[in-house]
């Protein structure tokens, strides 16, 4: 591995407490660019702005999405700023590069009826899996947790009364998340008889359930519920939590705290739900809207 890339990844792990999957993603993106730069006779750390522009153009020509290109540019910016800070090079060649324009896609989410169907289907899975999937779904939907946050929970994260969860989110930041009665009861079933260890244990002793294992089981639950598995993922449940909360009157600031977003602008992707709710309010209560729907 390139020594500058290795130092950069060590910094992310030590100073930013970056998760393993985050480090792997940075490594893959930067090694992809490193190969491109090498074909142009440049090193990863020594690449210039022209090479970076050519790389972004090559990504577009290869048919990669704007979102993927933007993620790779973000990794490159962070890497070159690290080199600048460490005085490995005197400039940041990404400074004048324009980020690819991202489509304004709306987050995918399920209806409340579909979430109910998933929960019913989870309860009908074989013994063992039923308890795990019921607790997982109840907790994801009740809290909006990221699946990595859910599966990293220890038994000790759930206090005796089970009213709130202590969650360690991105960057090691901790937050308290309230639990619904149903989520608390489902979690208590998993916690029963255990004083320590993972709340969602994996197949091997001493390991936690993997994201891939949970996602695979979730697809089976979706099939049982009569929902296209392509539409269902742990992150879709997080979107469903946020969308349904806003639709029922929650404010963005509270939602930001619950989701663990550093910037409220990230939470604002759910404002489409607010717009729909406001439109319904106008249609239901505005005098002109009532008179027109009533035939004038």
- Plot region of 126 (φ>0 → left; ψ -120 to 50 → alpha; else → beta): beta
Residue 178, SS3 per DSSP = strand
Query: In the chain, which ranges are continuous DSSP H helix?
Result: 3-15, 20-39, 49-61, 66-85, 112-123, 129-143, 147-151, 181-191, 211-225, 234-247, 252-259, 264-267, 271-285, 287-293
Element (H, E) at 166: strand 164-168
C-alpha radius of gyration, the chain, whole number = 23
CA-to-CA distance for 36 and 66, rounded, in angstroms? 18
Residue 176, SS3 per DSSP = strand
Element (H, E) at 164: strand 164-168
Angle subtended at Cα 119 by Cα 137 and Cα 124, rounded to the nearest 5 degrees: 115
Residue 97, SS3 per DSSP = coil
Nearest to 58 by CA among 95, 25, 23, 100: 100
Tell me which residues are annotated as active site.
146, 170, 235, 238, 261, 270
Q: Where does residue 41 rank: exposed (0-12), middle (13-18), buried (19+ CB within 10 A)?
A: exposed
**Residue carrying structure tokens 């074909």:** 39
């Amino acid at each position: 591995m390139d020594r500058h890339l290795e130092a950069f990844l060590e910094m992310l792990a030590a100073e930013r407490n970056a998760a393993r999957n985050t480090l792997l993603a940075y490594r893959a993106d930067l090694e992809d660019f490193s190969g491109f730069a090498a074909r142009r006779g440049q090193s990863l750390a020594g690449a210039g702005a022209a090479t970076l522009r050519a790389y972004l153009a090559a990504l577009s020509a290869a048919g990669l999405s704007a979102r993927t290109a933007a993620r790779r540019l973000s990794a490159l910016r962070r890497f070159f700023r690290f080199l600048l800070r460490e005085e490995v090079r005197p400039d940041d060649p990404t400074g004048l590069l324009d980020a690819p324009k991202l489509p304004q896609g709306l987050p995918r989410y399920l209806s409340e009826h579909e979430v109910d169907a998933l929960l019913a289907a989870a309860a009908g899975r074989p013994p063992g899996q039923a308890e795990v999937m019921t607790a997982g779904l109840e907790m994801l939907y009740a809290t909006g947790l990221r699946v990595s946050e859910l599966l990293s929970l220890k038994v000790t994260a759930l206090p005796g009364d089970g009213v709130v969860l202590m969650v360690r989110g991105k960057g090691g930041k901790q937050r308290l998340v309230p639990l619904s009665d149903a989520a608390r009861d489902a979690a208590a079933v998993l916690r029963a008889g255990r004083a320590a260890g993972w709340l969602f244990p994996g197949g091997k002793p001493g390991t936690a359930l993997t994201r891939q294992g949970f996602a695979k089981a979730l697809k089976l639950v979706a099939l049982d519920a009569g929902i296209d598995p392509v539409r269902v993922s742990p992150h879709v449940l997080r979107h469903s939590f946020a969308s349904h909360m806003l639709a029922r009157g929650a404010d963005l600031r509270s939602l930001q705290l619950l989701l663990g977003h550093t910037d409220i602008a990230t939470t604002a992707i759910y404002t489409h739900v607010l717009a729909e709710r406001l439109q319904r309010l106008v249609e239901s209560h505005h005098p002109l809207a009532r008179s027109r729907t009533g035939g004038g």
